[in-house]
Amino acid sequence: MALWIQISAGSNEPIYMQIVSQISEAIAKGEISAGQKLPAMRKLAAELVINPNTVARAYSELEQAGLITTKTGSGTFVNDPKLRTIDAANINILAERMDSIVARGINLGINASDLAAMFRGRVDSFINKSQKREKENERDST
Amino acid sequence: MALWIQISAGSNEPIYMQIVSQISEAIAKGEISAGQKLPAMRKLAAELVINPNTVARAYSELEQAGLITTKTGSGTFVNDPKLRTIDAANINILAERMDSIVARGINLGINASDLAAMFRGRVDSFINKSQKREKENERDST
DNA sequence: ATAATGTATTAAGAGTACTAATACGCTTTA
DNA sequence: TAAAGCGTATTAGTACTCTTAATACATTAT
């Protein structure tokens, strides 16, 4: 378990957001499992050569999103996916973001079928990794 | 043809971006057709009670995205969709945005099938409107 | 106790978003 | 040709965000 997070300083995306995105996606893909401990804020900050407050900001966002839980003195841990609840407001935000992508894709000249297929492909790549992980975990615990 | 653009001042999304999004989606849905003239910057600014420069900023973004063309002295017009070219760089950006949405959806507890179906639904709603428009245009020109 | 971890506060610099005021150049139209 | 309409460009200022920095504090683990 080393350092899977890569930040690019030249990006227009804020550093704390890059961290949020990468950890979010890692959790969705099952690359980090429930209960697992994330790197300590100071350590991660040192490895990425950024300020600890920036990491704290990222972890704070992730906690607010319900993905992790921080315990003072102990560390930061990934939540159990089963605890997550589907909120209507979040669904709406997701729908709006989808609309934005759909408009962008169509305006780029991509037809409807290709666009849907593309999205399906991205979903599958998440699920495949997630299922791989589950198998590995089963084998490990055996 | 009145004013379909609605901006909310309290939104965290910048005003010029709200304009960009709404016009982009309107173009994708075919609610604005190729060759059609957009509202003059000053007029739109007056109607929305915002600064003309903000509208100029929005139109500038749309032009850079290849969706519209501005002609000094004449006005701003929607481009012909057939002229749009699919760029690899844009596809990658689209893929990244999809990944972000997929992670978000899965982490919210939505399963893969539902997520893909949801996206498909958004795509269809665009296409349906687009086709409706095409029929109306055929009828009008008859 | 000591080390490790997260929390909180305050301050400052850099960059971005938006508004504002204004002037200029091109095109259409009377 | 002159006026009106439209987009372009520049400069300035205010407000907000991102990031770093320097600390100090509270809780937990060893």
pLDDT over 50 at B2, yes or no: no
Residue B3 inside a domain? The answer is no
Residue B73 inside a domain? The answer is yes
Q: Is the CB of B79 under 7 A from strand D?
A: no
Last residue of a domain, one of B66, B81, B96: B81
pLDDT over 80 at A53, yes or no: yes
- Hey, are the CB atoms on B21 and A110 less than 8 Å from each other? no
Tell me: do B93 and B112 sit in the same domain: yes
pLDDT tens digits, one per residue of B56-85: 999 999 999 999 999 999 999 999 887 777
A90–B contact, CB cutoff 8 A? yes
Tell me: do A33 and A57 sit in the same domain: yes
- Hey, are the CB atoms on A119 and B124 less than 8 Å from each other? no
**Closest Cα in chain B to A22:** B100
A117–B contact, CB cutoff 8 A? no
Tell me: do B19 and B75 sit in the same domain: yes
Q: What is the pLDDT of residue A131?
A: 72
Cβ-contact A127, B112 below 8 angstroms: yes
pLDDT over 50 at B10, yes or no: yes
Tell me: do A45 and A102 sit in the same domain: no
* Mean pLDDT along residues B98-122: 95
| Residue-number span of the structural domain to which A39 is assigned | 15-83
Indicate the average pLDDT of chain A. 89
- Hey, are the CB atoms on A118 and B94 less than 8 Å from each other? yes
pLDDT tens digits, one per residue of B112-141: 999 999 999 999 999 877 676 666 665 554
A97–B contact, CB cutoff 8 A? yes
Residues in A touching B115 (Cβ below 8 Å): 123
Cβ-contact B72, B34 below 8 angstroms: no
Q: What is the pLDDT of residue B14?
A: 86
**Closest Cα in chain A to B122:** A99
**Closest Cα in chain A to B101:** A94
Of the pLDDT bands very low, low, confident and very high (cuts 50, 70, 90), residue B4 is confident
3-state DSSP assignment of residue A18: helix
Of the pLDDT bands very low, low, confident and very high (cuts 50, 70, 90), residue B13 is confident
pLDDT over 80 at A24, yes or no: yes
Cβ-contact A18, A11 below 8 angstroms: yes
Helix, strand, coil in percent for chain A, rounding step 5: 65, 5, 30
For D26, nearest residue by CA–C1' is: A72
B80–A contact, CB cutoff 8 A? no
Name the burial class of residue B116, with classes exposed (0-12), middle (13-18) and buried (19+) by CB atoms within 10 angstroms of its CB: buried
Tell me: do A46 and A101 sit in the same domain: no
Q: What is the pLDDT of residue B139?
A: 53
Q: How far in angstroms lies nucleotide D21's C1' from the CA of residue B115?
A: 43
Domain count within chain B: 2
pLDDT tens digits, one per residue of B20-41: 999 999 999 999 989 999 999 9
Alpha-carbon gap, residue A32 to A44, rounded angstroms: 16
